[in-house]
Amino acid sequence: MPKLLLLLLSLVFISVLGSQWLPVDGVQTSSADLAYLRSFAAATGADNALGWHVGSDPCEDHWPGLHCYDGKATNIDVQGKQLLGTVPDTENGSLSSLQVLNLGDNRFTGKLPLLDLPQLYILRVDNNDFRNMPDKFFSGMPMLQYINITNNTALAEWGFSTVDMRSLPALFSFHANNAGLNGTLHQLFSNTTAGFPFPSLARISMADNQLSGTMPVLKGTAIRQLDISNNRLSGSIIFITDLASSANRLQLSHNAFTGSLPDFSEFTQLSVLSVDHNQITGIVPSSLPRLEDIKSVYLSGNLLQGPVPEFNISVHTDVAKASATGSFCRLDRGPCAPEVESLLLIAGAFGYPHSLAASWMRNDPCAGWIGVHCDDRRRVTGIDLSRLGLSGTMDSAFGSLRSLEAIDLSGNNITGEIPASVAQLPSLRVIDVSNNNLVGTMPKFRHNVAVWTEGNPGLKQSGSSVYALNSVGLSALCLLCLLFSSI
Ligand SMILES: *[C@@H]1O[C@H](CO)[C@@H](O)[C@H](O)[C@H]1NC(C)=O
Ligand SMILES: *[C@@H]1O[C@H](CO)[C@@H](O)[C@H](O)[C@H]1NC(C)=O
Ligand SMILES: *[C@@H]1O[C@H](CO)[C@@H](O)[C@H](O)[C@H]1NC(C)=O
Ligand SMILES: *[C@@H]1O[C@H](CO)[C@@H](O)[C@H](O)[C@H]1NC(C)=O
Ligand SMILES: *[C@@H]1O[C@H](CO)[C@@H](O)[C@H](O)[C@H]1NC(C)=O
Ligand SMILES: *[C@@H]1O[C@H](CO)[C@@H](O)[C@H](O)[C@H]1NC(C)=O
Ligand SMILES: *[C@@H]1O[C@H](CO)[C@@H](O)[C@H](O)[C@H]1NC(C)=O
């Protein structure tokens, strides 16, 4: 905590009180620091812009924006002074006592300087025009706690496979929005032998870059704020459960995250969740609106299903927009139609696959939902989800669709048992579950139900009538075709 306080206080000094506040001594500048400060002044225009004149002594003559202690520079703040040019590398032990370096809001260009600054804990180079990130940029600053590189829009693409950022054990706050980042986060966050490489890292922003790939394991980290909006990240959104106990702001908009939202009961500190414009499917868990600290939730531009989540009036949210553009079963609050509820339970047991979510929208399954067949009284009579790459289990909600005549789930990777409720469907005529991974004992179907089960090595027959596809020439699919075309 004291470290954090120190950091925050320093930030306040930099941004609010400015350079006059900190005490300055009048000792002559050490020769190593003098050499660097003079080359910096000449290379960046600080000699004219800030009066950092060659003939004067930086510490003794109190160069504006510079603080010294005992003839050594401790703090350089030249934020927003319209400096330009290339910042020189440090060398020969110069600035060995520097703790804060603020170069933000200028027009520096060229490569980021190689800084060998053993004491530095705050570095701001944000809002500049830097062009290149040297591979060893971070290596010389082992004490860094806060880095801001945000908004260096001209920076050539760089990534953590070449740039070594993994040697910053004290890092607390890292900000690199719109800074040319590419590649994956695995190289940055993969564990060292000592565990997570950044044990104190709490605030990360890397929005508006070209990051790609899946998210690494973040379990056991202290991350409170994560902004990775507007990248090309993919994989399941479920990774956020790694951050359940620590997360306060999660901003993941405009990526390609898939899967469904996790239970939020453990996210006790969450106040901002933006996951809009991804590929997220399924029902919004009721645990999300129930969070005590939740203030903003953005969900639109996904494939969310089920009822509109009901947030307290004080929560900023885009659910109305999400609803109007096709997510959720209705525009207003309230439950979905009973058949929709059953179908969503079925989809949920398969993990709300994208292939279904892209079609199973709004509140009428007979309006062309993929794999759903209805009769002219708009009752669901057939479900054909064969060969869709489904995994997961068969939900007992199949048994709630009382008008079902045919079920075809063949050629997927469905596991678990066949629910007994399926065998009780009064109008069922055919069920094909062949070529899956079902286990257990078949429930007993009525004798006039055609049942296809081969290709499920773990499934035991119950002794009722079972059609074996290899002995019957007619394929189940074709039987289903006949059945559906006659409806
Ligand atoms: C650093 O040291 C090298 C060799 O010792 C010398 O050539 C160079 O001029 C020094 N640079 C500065 C900025 O003092
Ligand atoms: C980082 O720099 C950007 C651009 O100057 C600024 O808007 C932002 O507030 C800074 N972030 C933090 C956390 O200080
Ligand atoms: C980013 O930098 C550009 C110029 O390089 C500037 O116009 C813009 O205001 C900056 N954005 C932020 C958020 O500071
Ligand atoms: C990142 O950008 C650099 C420079 O353009 C390129 O060499 C590298 O292949 C990119 N990496 C990825 C993963 O896109
Ligand atoms: C990384 O280390 C942390 C802390 O030691 C641990 O909780 C986590 O499971 C590890 N992650 C991986 C992927 O090994
Ligand atoms: C909804 O928000 C209001 C105002 O912030 C608050 O007073 C009220 O307790 C909240 N209700 C619920 C159910 O959280
Ligand atoms: C099928 O599911 C099992 C268990 O979930 C899994 O181990 C296996 O890799 C899956 N097979 C295919 C082809 O997806």
Is the CB–ligand 2 distance for residue 227 below 6 Å? Answer: no
Q: What does the alpha-carbon distance between residue 332 and residue 342 come to, in Å, rounded to a whole number?
A: 20
Residue 162 Cα to ligand 5 midpoint, Å, equals 23
d(Cα 368, Cα 371) in Å, to the nearest integer? 8
CA dist 219 and 227 (Å) reads: 17
Confirm or reject: Cβ of 180 under 6 Å from ligand 4: no
Beta strands in 208-320 (DSSP E): 210-213, 225-227, 232-236, 249-251, 256-258, 272-274, 281-283, 296-298, 303-305, 316-317
User: Ligand 7 centroid vs 393 CA: distance in angstroms?
Assistant: 12
Sequential DSSP letters for 226-254: EE--SSEEEEEGGGGGGGTTT-SEEE--S
Answer whether 157 contacts ligand 4 (Cβ < 6 A): yes
Contact by Cβ (8 Å): 412, 389: yes
> pLDDT at position 463, please?
57
Whether 94 and 71 have beta carbons less than 8 Å apart is answered as no
Q: How many angstroms does the Cα of residue 187 sit away from the middle of ligand 3?
A: 29
Residue with CA nearest ligand 7 atom 2: 413
* Amino acid at site 25: D
Radius of gyration of the chain from Cα atoms?
Answer: 31
Q: Which atom of ligand 2 is nearest to the CA of 148?
A: 1
Centre of ligand 2 from the C-alpha of residue 148, in Å: 6
Going from the Cα of 204 to the center of ligand 2, the distance in angstroms, rounded, reads: 11
How do 281-283 and 303-305 pair as beta strands? parallel
Closest CA to 128 of 84, 97, 172: 84
- Strand ranges inside 38-189, DSSP E: 66-69, 72-77, 84-86, 100-102, 107-109, 122-124, 146-148, 173-175, 182-183
Q: Which of 152, 175, 177, 226 to mutate to test the pocket of ligand 2 (most atoms within 8 A of CB)?
A: 175
For residue 303, the CA-to-ligand 7 centroid distance in Å is 25
Q: If you measure from the C-alpha of residue 151 to the centroid of ligand 3, how many angstroms do you get, rounded to a whole number?
A: 6
With a 6 Å cutoff on the Cβ, whether 92 touches ligand 1 is yes
Chain-centroid distance of CA 465 in Å reads 50
The ligand 6 atom nearest the CA atom of 312 = 1
One pLDDT digit (tens) per residue for the chain, 487 residues:
455 545 554 554 444 444 444 554 568 999 999 999 999 999 999 999 999 998 999 999 999 999 999 999 999 999 999 999 999 999 878 999 999 999 999 999 999 999 999 999 999 999 999 999 999 999 999 999 999 999 999 999 999 999 999 889 999 999 999 999 999 999 999 888 888 899 999 999 999 999 999 999 999 899 999 999 999 999 999 999 999 999 999 999 999 999 999 999 999 999 999 999 999 999 999 999 999 999 999 999 999 999 999 999 999 999 999 999 888 999 888 999 999 999 999 999 999 999 999 999 999 999 999 999 999 999 999 999 999 999 999 999 999 999 999 999 999 999 999 999 999 999 999 999 999 999 999 999 999 999 999 999 999 887 544 544 433 334 445 555 555 554 4
Q: Which residues contact ligand 6 via a Cβ below 6 A? A: 312, 314
DSSP state, residue 378: -
The residue among 284, 228, 288, 287 whose CA lies nearest residue 256 is 228
pTM equals 0.87
Q: Closest ligand 4 atom to the C-alpha of 157?
A: 2
> 45: helix, coil or strand?
coil
pLDDT given at position 41: 96
Whether the CB-CB separation of 220 and 195 falls below 8 Å is answered with: yes
Residue where the block lists tokens 């399924």: 282
Residue 437 CA, ligand 7 centroid: distance in Å: 8
- Which three-class secondary structure state does DSSP give residue 221? coil
Q: Is the minimum distance from the CB of 183 to ligand 4 under 6 angstroms? A: yes
Q: What are phi and psi of 281, to 5 degrees?
A: -115, 175
> What sign for the dihedral angle of Cα 70, 74, 80, 82?
positive
How high is the pLDDT of residue 461?
80
The structure tokens listed for 56 are 């004067």
User: How many Å apart are CA 81 and CA 78, to the nearest integer?
Assistant: 6
Residue among 29, 38, 92 whose CB has most ligand 1 atoms within 8 A, to mutate: 92
Q: Which ligand is nearest to the CA of 294?
A: 6
What is the number of other CB atoms lying within 10 angstroms of the CB of residue 481? 14
The number of the ligand 7 atom at minimal distance from the alpha carbon of 389 is 14
Which residue's alpha carbon is nearest to atom 5 within ligand 4?
Answer: 157
Specify the ligand 1 atom closest to the Cα of 32.
14
Cα dihedral angle (310, 312, 317, 320), rounded to 10 degrees?
40
| Nearest ligand to the CA atom of 390 | 7
Q: Give 419 Cα–ligand 7 centroid separation in angstroms.
A: 20
For the four alpha carbons of 10, 13, 16 and 18, in that order, the dihedral sign comes to negative
Query: For residues 352 and 305, what is the distance between their CA atoms, to the nearest angstrom?
Result: 9
CA distances (Å), origin 105, targets 39, 41, 84, 120, 162: 20, 17, 10, 19, 27
Q: Measuring from atom 5 of ligand 6, which residue has the nearest CA? A: 314
Q: Please report, in angstroms and rounded to a whole number, the separation of the first and last CA atoms in the chain.
A: 70
User: By 3-state DSSP, what share of the chain in percent is helix, strand and coil, each rounded to 5?
Assistant: 20, 20, 60
**Which position has the token pair 């139900």?**
449
Please tell me the distance from the alpha carbon of residue 248 to that of residue 270, in angstroms, as a whole number: 4
Task: Walk across the sheet containing 406-408 and list its strands.
Answer: 372-374, 380-384, 406-408, 430-432, 450-452
pLDDT of residue 333: 87
Here the tokens at position 418 are: 């066949």
> Is 342's C-beta closer than 6 angstroms to any atom of ligand 2?
no
